[in-house]
Amino acid sequence: MKNLRLKAARAAKDMSQQQLAEKVNVSRQTISAIEKGDYNPTINLCIAICKALDKTLDEVFWE
Handedness of CA 26, 28, 53, 56 (dihedral sign): negative
Q: Is residue 33 part of a domain?
A: yes
Q: Which domain holds residue 12?
A: 4-58
Taking residues 14-41, report their average pLDDT. Answer: 97
Taking residues 43-63, report their average pLDDT. Answer: 94
Domain count along the chain: 1
3-state secondary structure labels for all residues of 24-49: HCCCHHHHHHHHHCCCCCCHHHHHHH
Task: Give the CATH number, domain containing residue 52.
Answer: 1.10.260.40
Q: Is residue 25 part of a domain?
A: yes
Specify the pLDDT at position 45: 97
Q: Is residue 63 part of a domain?
A: no
Whole-model pTM? 0.92
**Rounded distance between C-alpha atoms, residue 9 and residue 17, angstroms:** 11
Q: Does residue 19 contact residue 28 with C-beta atoms inside 8 Å?
A: no
Nearest to 25 by CA among 7, 52, 4, 2: 52
